[in-house]
Amino acid sequence: MADADGRTAVEVIELVKRYPKRDVNAVDGLTFAIREGEVFGLLGPNGAGKTTTVGILTTRIEATSGRAMLAGVDVLRNPVAARARLAVVPQRSNLDRSLTPRQNLTFHAAYHGVGRGERNERAATLLKQFGLEDQADVKVDWYSGGMAQRLMIARALIHEPQVLFLDEPTTGLDPQARLFVWDRIREMRERGVTILLTTHDMDEAAALTDRVGIIDHGKLLALDSPANLIKRLSGQSVLELTVTPAPGDGADALIAALVAADGVDKAERVAAAMPAFGPGNGFPGGFPGFGGGGPGAGAARPSAVATMVPGAAGPVRLRLYLTVEPATMLAPVVSLLATRSAELTDVHIGQPSLEDVFIELTGRGLR
């Protein structure tokens, strides 16, 4: 499955894992490939099988069936050669607590055959780069979760792996540390390291990955670039309007007119439950009637329900589901409203996010 734009670094074919004494497959016929130098995101709800997949690819979990290739090596047949080419930052700390942080790096490098002088040098450089220089020779037990996470990433880099596995590398990190880890990931990407990243942070996936695979119950549900996945939900880019219909014009009539417009898939009325601060008016933005001076400006405040009364002359909030880019619909909508003398007090463009894609594919149920 060599792609046109590069060689394959990781390939998983019909991979199945059933843990002993379990009656469902944790990984259930997974097939995907990661290009060399790519940052690949593996997303999925809790228990979807992400860690299991990483475990199989990193030779720590035995596959029930299927094939897994890594940097040209059959992971299941030749785990030793695979180990020499990969590194993994696990979901849970597995630092060697009998060693200092610095020794964690140097011993790890020694396991991977890095010579003494070289490994001491690399350890010093990495400790500095990861901001652990001052805490390099203390007890690992003294490390906070974020420091341990940074140390594990440094450890993963010291033997210069071709493929790097990061299992939820930023879970539990503060914003600074998260940005720091993001920068390191981008840096490795620039150096041509192939990265498989699992995460629950959709912004992280959108910001870092070239492509994401969304899995649930061990099965692949979607695989594409974040942008393409979002685009696929195109019917769901939305435009939210707060409008006061002209006297004599009803909200329903207005909706009918808007749906008739090209590019509008669907329109519905939503409760104007205290929306976000609007730009510039210094008052809750979509606050019904504000600025328009329409009737019931004050009376509408206690309850959004007031805006739901059919035929009421107060402002209403409408949501338009579009089949085109929301920005291109602004002008047509504004002119349509103008011809009906409706007053527009707030506009909000709702871009669907990767999270919407994720929820759409995996549902809202808790695992």
Partner 1 sequence: MTDLILPLRSTGSSARKAFLAILWRDVFVTGKELWVLLIQVALTPLFMLFIFAKVLARQGFVSASYGHLLLPGIIALAAFLTALQSVAFPLVMEFGWTKEIEDRLLAPLPTTWVTVEKLVIATMRGLFAAAIMYPIGWLVLGTAPWRPEGIPLLIVVLLLGAWVGAGIGITLGTLITPAKISIMFGLILTPLMFTGATQYPWPTLDSLPWFKVITALNPLTYCAEGVRAAMVPDVPHIAPWICVVVLVASSAVFSVTGMLTFRRRAYR
Phi, psi (deg, nearest 5) at residue 228: -65, -40
| Calpha distance 184→32 (Å, rounded) | 25
User: Strand pairing partners for 65?
Assistant: 16
Q: Contacts with partner 1 in 44-73 (CB under 8 A)?
A: 55, 58-62
Three-state secondary-structure class, residue 89: strand
Candidates 95, 153, 300, 337: give the one binding partner 1 (CB under 8 A): 95
Between 26 and 239, name the residue whose CB sits nearer to ligand ATP: 26
Between 64 and 103, name the residue whose CB sits nearer to ligand ATP: 64
Q: What residues contact residue 365 under an 8 Å CB cut-off, 6+ apart?
A: none
The greatest distance separating any two alpha carbons of the chain, rounded to the nearest whole angstrom, comes to 85
Between 20 and 247, name the residue whose CB sits nearer to ligand ATP: 20
Q: Does 213 bind ligand ATP (CB under 6 A)?
A: no
Q: In what order do the strands lie in the sheet with 316-322?
A: 264-270, 316-322, 237-244, 343-350
Between 83 and 178, name the residue whose CB sits nearer to partner 1: 83
63 binds, among partner 1, ligand ATP, Mg ion, none (CB under 5 to 8 A by kind): none
169 binds, among ligand ATP, Mg ion, partner 1, none (CB under 5 to 8 A by kind): none
Q: Does 116 bind partner 1 (CB under 8 A)?
A: no
Between 64 and 91, name the residue whose CB sits nearer to Mg ion: 91
Of 87, 64, 63, nearest in space to 75 by CA:
63
Query: Shortest Cβ distance from residue 135 to partner 1 (Å)?
Result: 19
What track of x and - describes contact with ligand ATP for positions 88 through 127 (by CB under 6 A)?
---x------------------------------------
N- to C-terminal Cα distance for the chain? Answer: 33
Long-range pairs of 253-260 with CB within 8 A, sequence gap ≥ 24: 254/316, 254/318, 254/337, 254/340, 254/342, 255/318, 257/336, 257/340, 258/318, 258/320, 258/333, 258/336
Q: Contacts with Mg ion in 202-221 (CB under 5 A)?
A: none
Q: What residues contact residue 146 under an 8 Å CB cut-off, 6+ apart?
A: 172, 173, 174, 177
Q: Between vectors from CA 53 to CA 52 and to CA 59, what angle results, nearest 5°?
A: 85
Residue of closest CB approach to Mg ion = 51
Piece of 50-58, 129-137, 189-197, 223-231 that binds ligand ATP (CB under 6 A):
50-58
Between 34 and 54, name the residue whose CB sits nearer to ligand ATP: 54
Between 218 and 245, name the residue whose CB sits nearer to ligand ATP: 218
Give the type of residue at 93.
S
Q: Does 51 bind Mg ion (CB under 5 A)?
A: yes
User: Strand pairing partners for 188?
Assistant: none
Contact positions vs partner 1 (CB under 8 A) = 19, 55, 58-62, 77-81, 83-84, 86-88, 90, 92-99, 104, 107-108, 110-113, 155
Contact positions vs ligand ATP (CB under 6 A) = 19, 22, 26, 44, 46-52, 91
